[in-house]
């Protein structure tokens, strides 16, 4: 199996470095980091990762708005998205339509088990 490519979109730079290191070392994956929603949109469109880890609360383009952009674009709509959030109940929309996501990982999380959580959600083997 070839190495997976994960795009991490999170504006917390220190946390992003920790996540990148853990997923690279423990998951064996290539991890690209975007520190803003706008940068994440560009990288998702051009790099076509195997999965996206998306922070919900970001200053320039929030995660839920970016999620909808990703799912509306033919270039990115099939890429599975996992939300990283400190407030899982707060992301539920008022409508009855479910969010188009593969899963949610609440913050804080254990960085050492993060790759296993992602693999389980996506059905990947490590």
pTM: 0.91
CATH of the domain at 98: 3.40.50.2300
What percent of the chain clears pLDDT 70, i.e. is strictly above it?
A: 90
* Residue 44 resides in a domain: yes
Counted domains in the chain: 1
What percent of the chain clears pLDDT 90, i.e. is strictly above it?
A: 73
pLDDT by residue (tens digit) across 56-104?
A: 999 889 898 999 999 999 999 999 999 998 876 555 555 556 788 999 9
* Residue 34 resides in a domain: yes
* Residue 71 resides in a domain: yes
Cβ-Cβ contacts under 8 Å for 74 (sequence gap 6 or more): none
CA distance 10 to 63: 9
Structure confidence at residue 1 (pLDDT)? 46
* Residue 53 resides in a domain: yes
* Residue 125 resides in a domain: no
Task: Give the range among 36-40, 55-59, 85-89, 119-123 with minimum mean pLDDT.
Answer: 85-89
* Residue 15 resides in a domain: yes
Q: Is residue 22 pLDDT above 50, yes or no? A: yes
Structure confidence at residue 99 (pLDDT)? 80
**Strand, coil or helix: 103:** strand
Sign of CA dihedral 76, 79, 82, 88: positive
CB 52 within 8 A of CB 80: yes
* Residue 76 resides in a domain: yes
* Residue 126 resides in a domain: no
Range of the domain at 80: 5-120
Give the model's confidence band at 24: pLDDT under 50 very low, under 70 low, under 90 confident, else very high. very high
């Amino acid at each position: 199996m070839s190495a997976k490519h994960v795009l991490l979109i999170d504006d917390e730079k220190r946390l992003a470095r920790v996540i990148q290191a853990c997923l690279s070392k423990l998951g064996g994956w290539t991890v690209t980091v975007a520190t803003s929603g706008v940068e994440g949109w560009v990288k998702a469109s051009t790099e076509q990762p195997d999965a996206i880890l998306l922070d919900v609360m970001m200053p320039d383009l929030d995660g839920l708005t970016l999620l909808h952009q990703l799912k509306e674009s033919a270039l990115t709509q099939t890429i599975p998205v996992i939300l990283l959030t400190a407030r899982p109940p707060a992301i539920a929309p008022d409508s009855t339509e479910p969010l188009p996501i593969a899963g949610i990982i609440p913050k804080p999380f254990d960085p050492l088990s993060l790759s296993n959580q992602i693999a389980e959600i996506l059905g990947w083997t490590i």
